[in-house]
Amino acid sequence: MSTVLALIFSVSLLVFSAAATQFGPRLMPRFLRDRMMQVTLGLFVATFFHALFAFIAVRQHGQTQFVPQLTVLTTCALVVLSFASLLVFNNNVASSIQTNNVLPRILDDLRHAVTELSGFRIQQAKRGTQEAPKIPGKFRLHNVTELRELSATDGGIVRSVSGGFVKVIEFDRLASEAARVNAVVSLLFRPGQFVEKGEIIARVLPAQRVEAMAPMIIGAVQLSRHRNLDQDLEFAIAQLVEIALRALSPAINDTYTGLYCIDWLGEGIRGLANLPESDGSWRNEEGEVLLLFPPINFRRIVKTAFDLMRQASTGNVAVKIRLLHTWTKLAPSLTTPMQNQALLDQVHAVWEVASQEVMATIDREDIRIAYDRAVASLSYETADIQVIQAPNQAAQS
């Protein structure tokens, strides 16, 4: 049992290492957290120790032998169950490293995170429309813009005691403490950003409250060596982009996988388009501002998703056309002119590069047609964005 266990899981780690080469090292924790792997490992270890203890129970006194039949039968049952789980585990490993299964699972995690964040933003938006009472401290009566300006000039400084990625921010804990000491905390980093040791991570208003709030802020802003999806929506987008970039690299040159990633990126952006915008504030039930933090907006998400993809599409006509088609299909799901403009900027950037590249006339015409459709679709959704057609001279150059 121990030999089979060591052999199978050694081979599995080799398979996951090869998969990490294709998908990126960020997906290794996802493979290692697989529940079937943990169950199979537990069954093999349990069977090994059960059989070992069964040897201890078997004994002989003179002519009398004692063999615990129930224990032996249990050991045999555990062996059969362990090897049955091994078959399921092998099938699970084979399916888990397939691109068509990896990409949807990343999007499922993103949808779950978006659902949780959407409820929080809706709640905060309702509180922001309430009129704050005039009894609390003066700092809570200012709007978000004024509070940011005040914290930048008059706020007390809190520095990080270590370095790493911001993994989780305990907003509830910070808000409760800020309300207790009658202060406003302005956080300078959001989950997913990297913080250097000794860097300023927050400012406190009034500055006299910084000594009371500093230990709480340092403990509530959890740093880690790795990013995760608990509060970092960009991480899922970055995983999809990393898979696409590796597929489009000269070493692998897997255009179809890159196109699949673009399709799933579009699906992820579609879900984020309906996420309510945030002003970067955390308010209590009375509408008082207790925390300020850098909000993540739609334009930044679009740049994270498509900037590197667009840059990697140099010399690849299929990727350019798929990007333009994806943005065209996203147009009906957009809700604000700013979202339309964010995608329009990407559309114009693709055409700017494509019009200067050397390619076949038929390929350039296909890109021009896709470009015209994307501009028309994104401009049609709002009257604030003017329709821009591709210059005929540039298309024929």
Q: Name the least confident of 326-330, 339-343, 389-393.
A: 389-393
Q: Give pLDDT, residue 397.
A: 35
Residues 182 and 137 sit within 8 Å (Cβ to Cβ) = yes
Tell me the CA distances in angstroms from 157 to 92, 199, 232, 299, 309, one per residue in order: 50, 10, 25, 29, 38
Asked, as a colleague might, if the bond just before 206 is cis with ω within 30 of 0, I would say yes
Mean of the pLDDT values across residues 246-267? 87
Q: Which strands make up the sheet holding 156-159, listed edge to edge?
A: 156-159, 200-205, 184-187, 289-292, 281-283
Question: Does the pLDDT value for residue 169 go beyond 80?
Answer: yes
Q: Give pLDDT, residue 386.
A: 39
Boundaries of every domain in the chain? 2-97, 98-254+276-295, 255-275+296-396
pLDDT tier at 109 (50, 70, 90 boundaries)?
confident
d(CA 66, CA 78): 21
For 344-379, the pLDDT digits (tens) are 999 999 999 988 888 888 999 999 999 999 999 988
Q: What is the DSSP letter of 348?
A: H
Question: Does the pLDDT value for residue 291 go beyond 90?
Answer: no
What would the CATH number be for the domain defined by 98-254+276-295? 3.90.1170.30
Beta bridge partners of 166: 223
Question: Does the pLDDT value for residue 387 go beyond 70?
Answer: no
Q: Give pLDDT, residue 180.
A: 86
